[in-house]
Amino acid sequence: MGIRMDKDGSLLVVDAYFGLFRVNKTDGAYETLYTTSFHVAQKQPRFLTDLDIGPDGKIYFVDASTKYYKNQYHYALLEMSSSGRLLMYDPKTKVTLQLADQLAYPFGVQLSKDKTGVLITSPLLHAIYRYDLKTRNVSVWTEGLPGMPLGIRYSESSDSYWLAMSSPRSVERPNMFENLAKSPSNRRYAAKFVSMDMIETLRQEHGFTNEAMVAEVTASGTIGRVLQDSNTNPLGAVTEAQHVNGVLYTSSFFGADAVHTVNLKHKSRS
């Protein structure tokens, strides 16, 4: 799911089902740092999604749900589950701790520009949380986003954050999860009895689309540029976007052909 490069050149990878790993990018050898078979705060992680590395080497990563696995993510969205958590692995002590819980389906992770907090996307809330590393308090950093935010990455070249989003939304076009939010009883019924195939059909018919959307957010949390799929040449859903010197790199865990580049200077893509 999530991948970052550490200071020593190794890759830190979080696997949705199995845990946190350090991978040698030369020969592919890996070391297990944390496995989900070990409970954290008496709960077993079910869906690890993303990570980031602090200046001191501590690794911050999220458990989107303690109830549903990756292949059941639609149920977590339907139920509007708030069982997500922010976890932290300390390489010095080799201990994994829970920093925050009761998060609404946290997905993307990014340390703030000043390294004083951890930003965490919430597709359910169309918002981004901020965990303060000093006070240990969680607040909503920005909200009312035009889609469901997934991956988040900070770009030094643009001095801004880049959000990968799905399901573009508006007042005229709410997605199906917003509609279900108005009826908790229907939401609970759907999460309990509706099959994954039925959910997929509803997803396509009621506004949970795979259209690509990427938004630039300033260091203060203000939305800047919003880029969206064209009708004639759709890119498809993206779960991560990284900006480097005018080029936007996007990727997705949906499908095999899921890595693309978008040249923002010349408005071309590959």
Task: Supply the pLDDT for residue 268.
Answer: 59
Task: Supply the pLDDT for residue 19.
Answer: 97
Torsion sign over Cα 145, 111, 49, 255: positive
* pLDDT at 66 exceeding the cut of 80: yes
Domain boundaries, the chain: 1-144
C-alpha dihedral (241, 104, 44, 109), degrees to nearest 10: 30
Task: Supply the pLDDT for residue 266.
Answer: 66
Percentage of residues of the chain with pLDDT beyond 90? 55
Average pLDDT estimate for 122-128 = 92
- Tell me the per-residue pLDDT of 127-161, one tens digit each, with 9 for 90 and over: 999 999 999 999 999 999 988 899 999 999 899 99
DSSP-derived 3-state class of residue 200 = helix
Order of strands across the sheet with 160-166? Answer: 148-155, 160-166, 213-218, 223-228
Task: Supply the pLDDT for residue 259.
Answer: 74
Average pLDDT estimate for 100-115 = 96
Matching residue, tokens 């300390």: 90
Cα angle value 50/51/52 (rounded, 5°): 145
pTM: 0.87
Phi-psi map region of 237: left, alpha, beta (phi>0 left; psi -120 to 50 alpha): beta
- How far apart are the C-alpha atoms of 232 and 63, rounded to whole Å? 37
Task: Supply the pLDDT for residue 176.
Answer: 60
Q: Which residue has the higher pLDDT, 125 or 199?
A: 125
Fold of 1-144: Neuraminidase (2.120.10)
Q: Across the chain, what does the average pLDDT equal?
A: 85
Average pLDDT estimate for 214-231 = 86
CB 119 within 8 A of CB 129: yes
- Tell me the per-residue pLDDT of 160-179, one tens digit each, with 9 for 90 and over: 999 998 877 765 666 666 66
